[in-house]
Amino acid sequence: MLRETLSMVRDLSRLHEIASVLIRYGWGDMVRLLGVSHLLERAGRLLHWQTSNDITRLDLPVRIRMALTDLGPTFVKLGQILATRVDVFPPAWIREFEQLHSHVPPVPFELMRPELERVWGGKVEDVLGDFQTEPFAAASIAQVHRARLPDGTPVVVKIRRPDILPKIEADLRILNHLARLIELQMPDLRRYRPAQIVGQLKRSLLREFDLIKEARNLESFAERFSQDDTVRVPRVYWPYCGETVNVQEELIGIPGSDIERARAEGYDLGLMAARGADAVLRMILIDGYFHADPHPGNVVYLPGDRLGLLDFGMVGRITDSRREQLIDFLEALIKKDEAGMLNVLVQWSGDAEIDEDHLAYDISEMVFGYDNLTLKDIRVGALLNEVTTVMRDNHLSLPPDLTLLFKALITLEGLGYQLNPDFHMVDHMTPFVRRVMEARYAPQALARRARHGLREIAEIVIGLPRDVARLFRMARRGRLRIDLDLKRLDHFGLQLDQAANRLTMGVLTASLVVGSSIIMTVEGGPELFGLPLFGLLGFVVAFFNSLWILYSIWRSGRD
């Protein structure tokens, strides 16, 4: 508790900025509820509680998006992560979060130069030729410049912004503290799992903060597509890379957002839509390692109807077990097996409390909507949106890896429709699903799973006597312990701890009063103003203790 208090005091300036923005956009009640206002006002930082009527007339999702924009890079990234949580937020909120882009004014190159020269060990102009000091892209974490290698190869240089780490660390500390408070104080918001979202934000920021990790992602995907002539991934030039600098090949082509130019120059857009879908589906269903944000800005149309994939800062991983669950769900949907779909959704929900009857009814309603559709008529994006709506209506949320996966599939299908109005994601998904199903039921795979299952059963049986004996020994020694994880119990413990502290101080104050009264009756010893010094000091300490107790009781009544 002391450590958290000191941390919040250290971040007072940033906390004041955040509280001021929240109040400006109409969330003064949240600032009061979280106790932030008391902390700031005690530190002499007055808050202005006025909110513009023009702002309060805006829809809540719009106000949240505007507030996140004003709060800076960490919160913009938070909004981008929230845009992937289609299982938690309704479509209107997702649309607002998707508008958050971390395009920010660039940092003057002279401020970036020292870091580049430290990493490269020489002057920028001596290392790379034709270095363009004006960046062509700038985001919250890094900005990108064009240059050429000594042999003339065009490259892009991604440089991390200087001095952004302290602010990001302060934001993460504050968000982590606020997430715990929200889970304790706001039961209605607990189902959004704020602590989990902050954890996801922290992991994402740390991945993007280390530009070496993006370089490794690029190299990994380039190796996976090395035998595929239809997809290009930029090459990494490792001698020029570091934690703060990333140098990669520049793919020169038509930006993915400029579809009209690609059409005018004779590109086969339908073929490129098919190749893009096959590439991403292969990543997901075969490799289990995928580009998590395949939107048009991260795509380049290359000569020969090839696709270039950019920006591998955000990637997703899907485990073998999760892939099996996804295949089970698709298979159950095709067969209209409601029980199979229910089983998979229960697995995805983890330890959440589930009203299975209500969930089963919602699944039945969803399946009924696809009763007369053929497989090719199913839109994957609409289906995934319906699945997330069912989970949201049942107060369930998806694991973070699945939210990235769902978002990637929805984005991919949207890009496919932009390129080709006759694009059908299911047509491209079916061969991959069939391939995975065949691999799952191949004799070697069945034998491998059987051996694995038998080994697990044998380990359980062999270890059972040992585990039972250990359980009885612990019970006999009185060391058997049962851990309960109750959210509100932490808050109750905190209140109990504060009450115990006040009680202890009260007892000590009373003891000081009694002891000092006795000393006052004893002759001899040092005096002050004609009174025994130690008795007088005891009364002074007791007086200040009394003031502290009264203030603490008054504060607890206000909170």
274-283, 284-293, 482-491: least confident range: 482-491
Same-domain check for residues 176 and 286: no
Same-domain check for residues 427 and 508: no
Same-domain check for residues 68 and 185: yes
Please tell me which residue, 469 or 35, carries the higher pLDDT value.
469
Look-up of token digits 């299911």 = 426
**DSSP for 115-177?**
HHHHHHTS-HHHHSBS--SS-SEE-SSEEEEEEE-TT--EEEEEEEPTT-HHHHHHHHHHHHH
Euclidean distance between CA atoms 80 and 14, whole angstroms: 21
Which alpha helices (DSSP H) does 379-442 contain, by range? Answer: 380-393, 400-419, 425-440
Domain boundary among 416, 441, 466: 441
155 lies in a domain? Answer: no
Same-domain check for residues 524 and 434: no
Same-domain check for residues 303 and 362: yes
Look-up of token digits 């003339």 = 152
Please tell me which residue, 300 or 13, carries the higher pLDDT value.
300
Q: Which domain holds residue 383?
A: 267-441
H/E run at residue 301: strand 299-302
372 lies in a domain? Answer: yes
End-to-end CA distance of the chain: 17
Same-domain check for residues 496 and 416: no
Question: Which residues are known catalytic residues?
Answer: 293
246 lies in a domain? Answer: no
Euclidean distance between CA atoms 81 and 198, whole angstroms: 10
In the 3-class helix/strand/coil scheme, how is 330-394 assigned residue by residue? HHHHHCCCHHHHHHHHHHHCCCCCCCHHHHHHHHHHHHHCCCCCCHHHCCHHHHHHHHHHHHHHC
pLDDT at 421 > cutoff 80: yes
221 lies in a domain? Answer: no
Same-domain check for residues 500 and 433: no
Euclidean distance between CA atoms 381 and 425, whole angstroms: 9
The whole-number pLDDT of residue 157 equals 93
pLDDT at 5 > cutoff 50: no
pLDDT at 217 > cutoff 70: yes
153 lies in a domain? Answer: no
Residue 236 DSSP symbol = B
Same-domain check for residues 271 and 353: yes
Domain boundary among 380, 409, 441: 441
Same-domain check for residues 366 and 423: yes
Task: Determine the 3-state secondary structure of 532 from DSSP.
Answer: strand
Same-domain check for residues 16 and 73: yes
Number of structural domains the chain divides into: 3
Same-domain check for residues 340 and 422: yes
The CA-based angle 452-458-463, given to 5 degrees, is: 130
Average pLDDT of the segment spanning 429-456: 77
Same-domain check for residues 276 and 353: yes
Please tell me which residue, 21 or 251, carries the higher pLDDT value.
251
455 lies in a domain? Answer: no
Please tell me which residue, 106 or 28, carries the higher pLDDT value.
106
Q: Answer for the pair 88, 211: CB distance below 8 angstroms, yes or no.
A: no
Euclidean distance between CA atoms 215 and 379, whole angstroms: 34
417 lies in a domain? Answer: yes
The whole-number pLDDT of residue 103 equals 58
Residue 3 DSSP symbol = H
Domain boundary among 406, 441, 476: 441
The CA-based angle 494-200-218, given to 5 degrees, is: 155
501 lies in a domain? Answer: yes
Euclidean distance between CA atoms 91 and 76, whole angstroms: 18
Burial 13-47 (b: 16+ CB within 10 A, else e): ebbbbbbbbbbbbbbbebbbebebbebbeeeeeeb
pLDDT at 359 > cutoff 60: yes
256-260, 338-342, 456-460, 539-543: least confident range: 539-543
